[in-house]
Amino acid sequence: MHRPVLLNEVIEIFDPKPGQKYIDATVNGGGHAKAILEKIGPSGILIGIDRDCELINKLRIRNQELGIRNVTLICDNYANIGNIARSCRLGDADGILFDLGVSSYHFESSGRGFSFMKDEPLDMRFNPKDTAITAAIFVNQAPQEKIESILRQYGEERFAKRIAAEISKERRHKKIETTADLVSVIKKAVPRWYCRGRRHCATRTFQALRIAVNDELASLEKAIRAAIGILGNGGKLLVISFHSLEDRIVKDIFREAAKSKEVTKISKKVIKPTYAEILENPRARSAKLRGVQKL
């Protein structure tokens, strides 16, 4: 089960009240949304957005079984959050949440090749209907220089050049079609000691390909800027990020918005999980929470 990260901190900062209006822009398994709904009650409104239609359908079924009616679930890219809020006639939002972590479902159950720990088709698309290029298509067809650039830029991979060269060499003889195929290529490309560390040697490559396939960073920048405009006076925007590329985008946009007096920062320092939460949920260890409040 996907465990919502920094749940207590999110609820404490939002401090939701009955009748208020919220958007969970990455509703996923509904963990954060459920806690917010308990506070805003039946008179409140929550819009839940997720790019993966399978997750949205699962939540719709669960909400019907539980008799939850004050939730509108939308399968869409959160980059379209402005249009979604308008089409749902939400008005000014009291709070908006982005939890940018990839869900346990995608790693463990989706079968789309997000995890290097499973042998699955090399897909990596959150929504196969809105993205034509799979990770397999990219690694088999993109120029070597492009692959190197993506690994360096989105994965901050120190051996990007060597991995890209090995991919280019391998695909001349055999298509790279599965996660196991790609992991094998990576292991050939990097030094042996690189695969003995705490972090798996394929981690950064898989991250980079996932970000590229789903155009995650461009979507994030568009979404955060739009979300600030949706907030009502005193409304709060919270973003939980899991790697430096996401965090940098969020930090820069928040700084820019604070400088123009649109918002004020909720906390001077980034908020991180407690040691107790990390022990209970190791995936929370890299989470960072930043927030702003609309002026």
Q: Average pLDDT of 163-170?
A: 98
What's the pLDDT at 63? 83
Q: Which residues pair with 204 in a beta bridge?
A: none
Cα gap 94→231, rounded to integer Å: 6
Does position 228 have pLDDT exceeding 90, yes or no?
yes
Q: Which pLDDT tens digit goes with each residue over 105-138?
A: 788 888 899 999 999 999 999 998 888 899 999 9
pLDDT band at 199 (very low <50, low <70, confident <90, very high): confident
Does position 1 have pLDDT exceeding 80, yes or no?
no
Spatial CA neighbour of 245 closest among 212, 278, 273: 212
Q: What tokens were used for 118?
A: 């499973």
Beta-carbon neighbour count of residue 293 at 10 Å? Answer: 18
pLDDT band at 62 (very low <50, low <70, confident <90, very high): confident
Please report, for residues 104, 131, 216, the alpha-carbon distance to residue 1 in angstroms, rounded to integers and kept in the order given.
Answer: 7, 26, 23
What's the pLDDT at 30? 83
User: What pTM value is reported for the model?
Assistant: 0.92
Q: Which pLDDT tens digit goes with each residue over 230-257?
A: 999 999 999 999 999 999 999 999 999 9
Q: For residue 34, how far is the Cα from the chain centroid?
A: 19
Greater confidence (148 vs 69) lies with 148
Which of these ranges, 39-48, 57-66, 240-249, has the smallest mean pLDDT?
Answer: 57-66
What's the pLDDT at 2? 61
Q: What tokens were used for 208?
A: 């980079």
Greater confidence (45 vs 199) lies with 45
Q: Which pLDDT tens digit goes with each residue over 68-91?
A: 888 999 999 999 999 999 999 998
Q: For residue 200, how far is the Cα from the chain centroid?
A: 20
Spatial CA neighbour of 8 closest among 42, 39, 50: 39
Report strand pairing: 288-294 vs 263-265: antiparallel
Sorted by where each starts, the structural domains of the chain and their CATH numbers stand as: 7-105+216-294 (3.40.50.150), 132-214 (1.10.150.170)
